[in-house]
Structures are given as structure tokens and as C-alpha cells.
Chains A and B, each alone.
Chain A
Amino acid sequence: MRDVAVIGIGGTRFGKYPEKSITDFGVEACLKAIRDANVKPKDIQLAYAGNLAQWQWGQGLLIGQVVLREIGITKIPITRVENGCATASCAFREAWYKVATGACDVALAFGVEQMTVVDSGKMLSVFTGRQYPELSGDMGFTAPGIFALMAKRHMEEFGTTREQLAMVAVKNRKYGAANPDAQLTAPVTVDEVLNARMICDPLTLPQCCPRGDGAAAVILASKEKAKQYTSRPVYVAASIQVSGSYPQDQSYTYFDTDARGAKAAYEMAGLGPEDMDLAEVHDCFSMAEITHYEDLGFCKKGEGGRFIQEGQSDIGGKIPVNTSGGLLSKGHVIGATGISQINEVVKQLRGQAGKRQVPGAKVGLQHNAGGFIHTDTACCVIHILKR
């Protein structure tokens, strides 16, 4: 397979914009990426569009063609991708694969979602069904529940504390305050997090990501082609996608998808966790980030609580995590999150991250988990990028 580079990135500020159309977000992000890459719309040979769900009629279907038509990208193959919360990462990965295998030289991937147009009850009904008890919304299984259940078991087995969980929100909101594209920009303290409204014990509101509206886009090119457009390509050193194995007889303190995906990604890149200068991981809830530290190999199993407490996931620590502010600050704009994470890693590797810049960053990891079935995430995508 050929080396592939990210040559352009673009995104909208995530937030609540019910007055806009979903097309507006997609167009804004794609235009920014095209201009950043210095390509022309007609140079794009293939595109993938990530979008999870039709939260209201009139969105979603054929979103790729609808958005790209606005900027003159027509005729080429355009495909919509859905893979739960990992939707955008899968759109990125499909575009990468097509360039890596020589099917095309320049590809675009974007992800978009408009979620604030529906209430949370409707949202829950889209995610749930009667097929399995844990997916049956009316039996009470919820997204915060996935991570509250894991937190309770993690606290019991490893002594993880409520304060350590709160520190994840404190760290990410601190970086969110330094990211002009974040939705929540006010920093919070440990006391504020602990005393905030309880959602699912032990998780309080600041430990649960908000949803939002927005889009993120990238332009990918083969190494050869990239040289024509940019002097600062960021290469895809690994792209791995795995699905869940849904273990029954193991402790519910880890995600098998993370562990398998990370092992494969490090092998593909020929690098280890110790080589990562930063990481964007799927912090939909505070507990999620602690589990990801462990399952991605940033620390040993059970030591995730200590990892955050010691500042190892801060700039200056072992591996700065979620310098964008993460989902906890940006909001989880489901169809766009994965590419938004990739864009943060690219900014860091280009040295464009401003006040939250990790000095001298050369290699970064992006981790995006999608959906949940039984005891495991349904989809996990990991990318390692390097300059």
C-alpha cells in the first residue's frame, strides 16, 4: 500500500445552531479543508460522507452529494458512511484505503451532524430497540449508564476515585477553554464537577459530553501527489478498524475493541504507545478516557485513575490527551467527531494548536469508539499520524 498524507483540514465550531441547515455545516467544513489543502474541487476524485442518523426528516440521506454539489464536486463516486459514534473515522478510513490502494490520488472525507433539533427522548429511541435487553431503552440502559457501570466496577477493583474521574473533565475543559472551536469554553474545578447535577452515579453532568451541531473535513492525497500541494503533509502511519467481541466472562473494566485495535495500530505503524506525543481519545464520559488510557497502553491496567491524577495526560506529562478539549468540551457531534479528532492531531503535528500546542509533537494517535453492544463498543477506529 502507498503512503497517504492528510493535506487539508477544516471544521466548524461545534455548538447549537438549530437555525442552520445540515448542508451549511458540511459546506463550511469542506470548503475550509479544500482551501487549506490548496486543491481545487475538480481535483477530488472520490469522497466519503459521515452522517449517523436522520434526527429529523430532510437530513441525512445522500448527504455527501447534497453537500458536495454546493461546491462543484459532482460526478465522482460519493458514499455515505454510518458506524455509530465512529462514523467520521470510518469515512476517513475508507478514503485513506482508496488512496493507499491506488484507486485514486486525491480524496475527501467529511462528517456532519445536526443533533440539537431533537429532544433526548427521540435521540434515545434512535439508539435503542427491543433486540437485546441492553439496547432496549425502556429497560433503562443509557449511554451514561454504560460508563457509570464501568466506573463502579473500576472503582471496586482498582480503587479509582470520584475525584480522579472528575479530573478528566477538569483537564479537558481546561483545554477546551484554549480551543476556539469548542462548545464549552469555561474551565471547571474538581469541586464544581463533583457537586454538579448527578446524571448516573458516579457521573455528574460535566463528566458527560454535550451533543451539538457541526462538521469536520479532510483532504487526503498519495505521498507523491501531496508534494504538489503542500510542504507540511501529515502521514497516516496506521489506520485500524475493529468490531466488538462482546465478552461475557471478563471483568467489565475494559474494552476489548480498544486493546485489539491499539495492538494492531502500533504494529502497523511500527511504533509503541511510548512514541506517541499526544492522543485524541473518545472521552464521551470521564470514565471512558480513563479506560482508554489503559486499553491503549498509555499506562497499565487499573492505573488510569493515577495516570490522570499525576498529570500524565496533561501537556508536560507522558502523553497529553485531548488537547482539543475532547468531546467533553467540543460536544459529541456524532457524525463529525472522528474527523474533528484527526484535525486536532494534524494541527498539533503542524504546530498550529496555539495555546494548547504540545511542543515538538511529531506523532499523534486518534481513537474513536462507536456504538455499544452488550459489553463492548461495536466499532473502534484508531489512526496514528506522523509528520
Chain B
Amino acid sequence: MSASQKKSRYIDENWFTRDRHGVALLGSKCEACDKVFFPKKLVCPDCFDGKLTEIPLSRNGRLHTYAQAIMGPANLKKPYIMGFVDLPEKIKLYSLIVDCEPWNEVLKIGMDVELVVRKFGTDRHGNEIISYMFRPTTGGK
């Protein structure tokens, strides 16, 4: 297979959508109780009522906590930073935290972080895998 035939794919097609700003995470919102879920659900696990609407999630959130992993799965370059991000939709989301070196000085609990969607790895066929990550908010916010 030549390099030109290689494709890129999302780590999970169900996690992503596009709106006018580009790629976003895809959640579902319950019309009855307004709760938002990620990844999208079949029914509202909270009220089991109403209809679910698919919505793009906010790209900006707050860093709830973070940690530097020295040991981890084989596909990731170590060390790496993991975190929980609080999104305004009341979603607590596990994410890799990137573009934050030196992490010990840059990262602060409660700081603004923003979504990035980029190459995460390569599958065994040589295709790019794209995933979501968060990084400290750029652009002076």
C-alpha cells in the first residue's frame, strides 16, 4: 500500500461531528430534563423520558484535575498527561492534555482548556487515527 492510499480515521466515529467551526465532540441532549451526555446515548439514562437530540459539545472547558503518567499503554509516548475536563454542559470528560510543557508550571487546576482534534496514533495498516485532546486555551483567553 502506498502512502497516498493511506487514510485517516477517528478513534471512534460516534464521538465526533462537524459544525460551522469545524470538528466537535458529539453529545446527546435530553429534551425533557436538559441533561447532556457523551458519548451519545440511546435513551436518557437520568429520566428515561423525552427525546434525545444530537448536539456538538462546547470546545472550551476547565481543567478539573490532571496527572503525569510515566507508565501507560504501549501505543502512547511516555510520559504523557491525562486529565478530567469539565465542560459547561456538565460533562466530566477524560482526556489527554497536550501542548502544556513544562506541564508542572503550565497546568493549573481550574484553568481554561480547549479542544484539539488531531493525530493520535497509527493503526497496524498505517492509517492515521484521529482523536480528541485538550490543551491550555490559546489566543489570550
Interface residues of chain A, those whose CB is within 8 Å of chain B, are: 121, 124, 130, 132-134, 136-142, 144-145, 148-153, 156, 197-202, 247-249, 251-252, 374-375
Contact = CB atoms under 8 A, between A and B. Distances in A.
A245 to B, nearest CB: 10
A141 B109 contact: no
Contact of A149 (B66, B72, B96): B66
Interface string B61-98: 00011111111111110001011101000111111100
Given A139-B11, A152-B109, A201-B67, A252 B82 contact: no
Q: For this complex, into which size category does the number of interface residues on chain B fall?
A: 20 to 34
B131 interface: yes
Contacts of B96: 139-140
B69 A142 contact: yes
The 9 closest A-B pairs by CB, nearest first: A148-B67, A134-B94, A153-B65, A201-B68, A249-B90, A156-B109, A248-B92, A149-B65, A200-B69
B88 to A, nearest CB: 11
B12 interface: yes
B76 A140 contact: yes
A202 B70 CA distance: 10
29 contacts: A130-B11, A134-B94, A137-B73, A138-B73, A139-B94, A139-B96, A140-B69, A140-B72, A142-B71, A144-B69, A145-B67, A145-B72, A145-B82, A149-B83, A149-B84, A150-B65, A152-B65, A152-B109, A153-B65, A156-B65, A199-B69, A199-B70, A200-B67, A200-B68, A201-B68, A201-B69, A249-B86, A252-B84, A374-B94
Contact of B12 (A130, A247, A249, A375): A130
Nearest to B38: A133
Nearest to B39: A132
A50 B66 CA distance: 34
A140 B65 contact: no
A248 B65 contact: no
Contacts of A134: 94
B56 interface: no
Interface string B51-67: 00000000000001111
Interface of B: 11-12, 15, 39, 64-76, 80, 82-84, 86, 90-96, 109, 120-121, 131
Given A139-B11, A142-B69, A199-B70, 6 more contacts: A139-B120, A142-B73, A151-B67, A153-B109, A248-B90, A249-B92
Contacts of B64: 153, 251-252
A202 B83 CA distance: 14
Nearest to A132: B39
Contacts of A136: 11
A136 B94 CA distance: 10
B75 A138 contact: yes
B11, B71, B95, most chain A CB atoms within 10 A: B71
Contacts of A138: 11, 73, 75-76, 121
B40 to A, nearest CB: 12
A168 to B, nearest CB: 17
B77 to A, nearest CB: 10
Contacts of B75: 138
Contacts of B80: 140
B43 to A, nearest CB: 16
A172 B71 CA distance: 23
B66 A374 contact: no
